[in-house]
Structure 1
Amino acid sequence: MSDFDLMVVGGGPGGYVAAIRASQLGFKTALVEKAELGGVCLNWGCIPTKALLRGADIAQTLKHAAHFGFDIDPPQVDLAKLVGHSRNTAQRLSQGIDYLMKKHGITVLRGEAKLEDVFTLSVTDASVTTRYKADHIILATGAHARNLPNIVVDGKIVWSAREAMTPTELPERLLVIGAGAIGVEFASLYSDLGSQVTLVEAAPRIVPVEDSEVSAELQKSFRQRGIEVHTNTTVSDLELHGNSATATLQGTQGAQQVTFDRVILAVGISGNIQNLGLEALAVDTDRGFISTDAYSKTNVVGLYAIGDVAGPPWLAHKASHEAIICVEKIAGVSGVKPLRKDRVPGCTYCRPQVASVGMTEQSAREAGHDLKVGRFNLSANGKALAIDEASGFVKTIFDAQSGELLGAHMIGPEVTEQIQGFGIAQQLEATEQELAHTIFAHPTLSESMHESVLDSLNLAIHQ
């Protein structure tokens, strides 16, 4: 007889959601976590970085207060208070998840988990190992930051995201290696707080998964802010000194050596698949992540994987949605549909913000679609002008025959809050005609979404 109907390994946004849904469906459920509930996202990722970025937004507002008629002395950041706010926010939410586990009658087991056989999981805490039987085991162990062969995080000069979120002083000169979502968020944060930032990306453009027009707009904005951006560039060597580092930046125009006070490494992630016992069960993996089917099943009966450890997109909301689908499929809930990865919205909280859902224009054309593309610049939006944040645009991509919304791409103020409108439109299979006839409130930033749709039909009013 099994100890539990279902066990989940990992208490992040995939794992704890899976445990709650399983309990709601009547499963006797256990959650195994070796660190803080909430995982990296809540404790060292999504949430604390947004708390820090809020501080950067306030710093930016204070710097430009004179534009609105306020005389304010040059603002000084109390870094300890800002970091303290970030850490307190994460702690409160982690405690909230602990409450939810108790509320739903979920057994929380502290320690390191390892698969002993198909339906047996061992949990080791302080050298004491206990074995549990479960009918279903869901792996939600997340991922960790990748390193580069020639660059080692030492926690002093070369920072991972953790050190970057808990600085004791602002570096005067900062190098950020990697211009994906994490890299550009840190570049934006430290620039607004007063550091001189250099951003290096090996790809031809920053935020390379985004639409090329969005990448170009963000790069232009960063350079206008004084952030030095190098694309098609790698760090071929990094020499550490007492309290600084000299980086060799290798670009298309040759090499240059530049000295920095601190370096942030943000070059992607790898799945947490080590020491789980996967090899003994011959669990299939692919490039460091666990392989699954559309409902998160692995090739081993009774074993599932969700979230970052199961591959891209590496986003918390993808993990949570995947968790619900996985558990409901196990429970036999009728009408469960697999995750549509092409409908997972992506949000980047730099300044200006970036948000997108669906295909880029390039990927849509490569897929063979005949397109209608609409664009609307925020410089013609009344609310954006009123708040003095009128840089950016909205871009919508429709199939010319069916009117299907294939993709939407936004850059500007609070676009991470607005992108869900396009996500809902995709879910409800709204066409460009239906969106065009939808009434958007005035004055709002979201009116630019409407104007972009109208532009795809050559009906834009305000441009």
Structure 2
Amino acid sequence: MADGKYDVIVIGSGPGGYVTAIRSAQLGLKTAIVEKQHLGGICLNWGCIPTKALLRSAEIYHYMQHAKDYGLSAENVSFDLGAVVKRSRGVSSQLNQGVGFLMKKNKIDVIWGSAKLKGKGQIEVAPTEGAPKGALGGGTYSAGHIIVATGARPRALPGLEPDKKLVWTYFEAMVPQELPKKLLVVGSGAIGIEFASFYNAMGSDVTVVEVLPQILPVEDHEISAFARKRLEKLGIKIHTEAKVTKLDKGADDVTATVELKGGKVEQMKVDRVISAVGVVGNVDGLGLEEIGVKIERGVIVADPFGRTSVEGVYAIGDVAGPPMLAHKAEHEGVICVEAIKGLHPHAMDKAKIPGCTYCNPQVASVGMTEKKAREAGLEIRVGRFPFIGNGKAIALGEPEGLAKTIFDAKTGQLIGAHLVGAEVTELIQGFVVAMNLETTEEELINTVFPHPTLSETMHESVLDAYGRVIHV
């Protein structure tokens, strides 16, 4: 817009930002979005999407190496790392262009640069390099509603700071020029375990160090233990209740000092280190504290509708706190802008946001873990069903997995579901829908699941919780 005045300005074009902008435009609000580098943000360009492309290449390579397990023959199987990376970047590029198309389709102005809040309803944008020819850039813009969706960046621990050469964040890990023979991954959350899985599949000798007692710390302990056993079977070395205390860098290698469980100290020489110790919100340089926006523990404090401590300023996505997931950011943004429009949307229930990890085997969950449910003093019923009892899993050659469901024993309400195994990231939505409908065991038991499918493991886990399991 020529006058620089809008109803809504969104700062950041990641999944949360661009979805929020589209919904805003759909609601008839004059909308602009500010981006300093890539449409689609970290998730599309350097996170969720390109990592899945890498993992898909690793998965296909793994299958080719085990072709004989399926009665097939594949001789001298190899890979071109440059081509694998190029494919991943191509996927991101395609989707980046798709976001640009959506902005044009919805008549959303894209302002290229770095934004800073300047008083009530006003932002100042400093131009950045690489803006498309003729695009809006530096200047002052105003809006009645400013939504901060600036996402997060990798956390750096003292002494373990990434240098982009020997110590990587996910940025460098996504575009390796050569495969490290030995790799140390610090941190076993979703990012750490996914990269450990990728590099292991491609042939690296991978070690994971986690300070907490289990890998994938937010997952149910039983599911985490199952995943760990499978990952170790594939050759990944895992140390829990351990920490990396020092990194000594050589010309082309790193010697890590690792304090293991029990106090034993071990020296580990590796080619590269991936630091995957979490992320922190991008709150710096936005002028937030100057105008009174409250920040705690590195993220913006916002209510269930994205409203901050300053009227007219909102925050959604990673910058507004955990869970730091793209789908949470998207839904949070829609709620925020619908509330601005006065549509009275339902506040987000963070207990019903699914989490997915795309390692081998995949892990997916929603709701309370068994430990959390017991700590909350709930009387529960727990059901389990192993993939080895499922015909489709056996036919796929993927019989190692587990479906676990948790019910409130008094009401029968499903309060948690946890899966590990083939394609569980696609299965979990069934339980997410069930939980949002406040489903009880009766509805799930009486639901007819198609055969033969992996989804039958979900049904059987429900049956098991109530003593009616069939196939074990």
Report the Cα offset of residue 75 of structure 1. 1.3
The answer to whether structure 1 residue 315 and structure 2 residue 317 are counterparts is no
Q: Deviation digits for residues 12-45 of structure 1, max 9, x if unmatched?
A: 0000011100100011100000011000000000
Tell whether the 8 Å contact from 2:34 to 2:115 is kept in structure 1 after alignment.
Answer: yes
Distance in structure 2 (CA, Å) of the matches to 1:47 and 1:354: 17
**Superposition pairs for residues 111-130 of structure 1, below 5 Å?**
111-126=113-128, 129-130=138-139
Residue segments in structure 1 that go unaligned for 5+ positions in a row:
none
**Superposition pairs for residues 44-443 of structure 1, below 5 Å?**
44-126=46-128, 129-253=138-262, 254-334=264-344, 336-443=345-452
Tell whether the 8 Å contact from 1:2 to 1:135 is kept in structure 2 after alignment.
Answer: no
Distance in structure 2 (CA, Å) of the matches to 1:188 and 1:380: 25
Tell whether the 8 Å contact from 2:11 to 2:33 is kept in structure 1 after alignment.
Answer: yes
Residue segments in structure 2 that go unaligned for 5+ positions in a row:
130-136
Which residue identity lines up with residue 246 of structure 2 in the other structure?
D
What residue number does 2:465 align with? 456
Tell whether the 8 Å contact from 1:393 to 1:411 is kept in structure 2 after alignment.
Answer: yes
The answer to whether structure 1 residue 3 and structure 2 residue 5 are counterparts is yes
Tell whether the 8 Å contact from 1:306 to 1:323 is kept in structure 2 after alignment.
Answer: yes
Distance in structure 1 (CA, Å) of the matches to 2:183 and 2:290: 44
Structure 1 residue matching 2:118: 3-state secondary structure:
strand
What residue number does 2:18 align with? 16
Distance in structure 1 (CA, Å) of the matches to 2:91 and 2:316: 26
Which residue identity lines up with residue 12 of structure 1 in the other structure?
G
Which residue identity lines up with residue 201 of structure 1 in the other structure?
E
Q: Deviation digits for residues 394-439 of structure 1, max 9, x if unmatched?
A: 0000001111110000000000000000001011121111100100
Identical aligned residues as a percent? 53
Which residue identity lines up with residue 169 of structure 1 in the other structure?
E
Which residue identity lines up with residue 428 of structure 1 in the other structure?
L
Which residue identity lines up with residue 282 of structure 1 in the other structure?
G
Count of aligned residue pairs for this structure pair: 462
The answer to whether structure 1 residue 37 and structure 2 residue 15 are counterparts is no
CA RMSD, aligned part only? 1.1
Q: More deviation in 377-386 or 71-80?
A: 71-80
Q: 1:43 to 1:126 in 2, by over 3 A?
A: closer
Which residue identity lines up with residue 374 of structure 2 in the other structure?
R
Distance in structure 2 (CA, Å) of the matches to 1:25 and 1:384: 45
What residue number does 2:132 align with? none
- What is the TM-score with the length of structure 1 in the denominator? 0.98
Q: More deviation in 149-158 or 118-127?
A: 118-127
Q: 1:362 to 1:126 in 2, by over 3 A?
A: closer
Structure 2 residue matching 1:80: 3-state secondary structure:
helix
Structure 1 residue matching 2:184: 3-state secondary structure:
strand
Structure 2 residue matching 1:398: 3-state secondary structure:
strand
- What is the TM-score with the length of structure 2 in the denominator? 0.97
Structure 1 residue matching 2:392: 3-state secondary structure:
helix
Distance in structure 2 (CA, Å) of the matches to 1:23 and 1:69: 54
Distance in structure 2 (CA, Å) of the matches to 1:84 and 1:206: 30
Distance in structure 2 (CA, Å) of the matches to 1:176 and 1:390: 28
Distance in structure 2 (CA, Å) of the matches to 1:129 and 1:71: 59
